[in-house]
Amino acid sequence: MAIITLTTDFGYKDHFIGAIKGTIYSELNDAQIVDISHSISPFNIQECAYILKNSYKTFPKGTIHIVGIDSEKTPENQHIAVYVDGHYFIVANNGVLGLIISEVLPDKIVEINLPDTGQTPFPVMDVFVKVACHIVRGGTLEVVGKSFDQLKDLKEFTPIVSDNFKSITGHVIYIDNYGNVVSNIQKSLFEAYRNGRKFELKARNKKITEIHKKFSDIINFDLDKNQRKGPGDLLALFNSSEYIELAIYKSDLNTVGGASTLLGLDYRDTITINFI
């Protein structure tokens, strides 16, 4: 039995998650359902894309990922099923797969066309679940729709490198539970253009000249404790997904604040690297 994952912005107050799971179990009483997240900020495509990219690979090949973000069907927001990197994604064509398809080309994409479902106000349950259960039973994508080649890829996921290769301009694509700020600048891009040069990372009025491998690298343990950097200090690191991330070491977003609040950074805000 293939795993079905759920990623939505539905939250936990309402009935939506329970109804989706109940519908799946009614179709497949031995289904394996995993919640990736239901706390995506409403309609935040970038946030959902980042979470999906960094979670889907940990699941076995053949896993089916239902994505409930901005899922209402319109002429410009089609329902699609995508097979890429050994995984199935059932989504709206709103760019949410942008970070995944930037690295791996899809093997197959179909526009979903199920009878009597076009006007539903709850497409995740009424359409996406039906497609997922069809795939679990061994059904093919060709049965649920026709081939589709207009997959949206949001340009804002891509940092801009200056013509003279002296700077990279990125922006914030995710803010985590600690208030840490994740940019869309990956380590591979940074190293490709750095060429051994020194650099300055600028975010608002802050400048950083070093990028760490882990959070505690900010501490010089050879110094006395009262001379070290530590809790409350700003740092940059390549996170576990190899994106440049800004953090306040051992800070709490709900009390003293995190990098997002203390630096005044929000989604789409600019982060710039200047090579010297």
pLDDT tens digits in sequence order for the chain, 276 residues long: 899 999 999 999 999 999 999 999 999 999 999 999 999 999 999 999 999 999 999 999 999 999 999 999 999 999 999 999 999 999 999 999 988 998 899 999 999 999 877 678 999 999 999 999 999 999 999 999 999 999 998 777 789 999 999 999 999 999 999 999 999 999 999 999 999 999 999 999 999 999 999 999 999 999 998 889 989 999 999 999 999 999 999 988 888 899 999 999 999 999 999 999
Helix (H, G, I), strand (E, B) or coil at 212: strand
CB contact burial 180-201 (16+ within 10 A = b; e otherwise): bbbbbbbbebbeebeeeeebeb
| Cα 185 versus chain centre, distance | 14
Say if residues 36 and 49 touch (Cβ distance below 8 Å).
no
Question: How wide is the angle at C-alpha 69 spanned by C-alphas 24 and 5, nearest 5°?
Answer: 35
pLDDT on residue 102: 86
Tokens 């760019």 belong to which residue? 95
Nearest to 91 by CA among 110, 75, 105: 110
- Whole-model pTM above 0.85? yes
Q: Report DSSP state, residue 221.
A: T
Query: Which secondary-structure segment (H or E) carries 245?
Result: strand 243-248
Q: According to the 3-state scheme, what is the secondary structure of 135-175?
A: HHCCCCHHHHEEECCCCCCCHHHCCEECCCCCEEEEEEEEE
Contact call for residues 132 and 238 (beta carbons, < 8 A)? no
- Which 3 state secondary structure label does DSSP give 130? helix
Q: What angle do CA 271, 275, 276 make, to 5 degrees?
A: 135
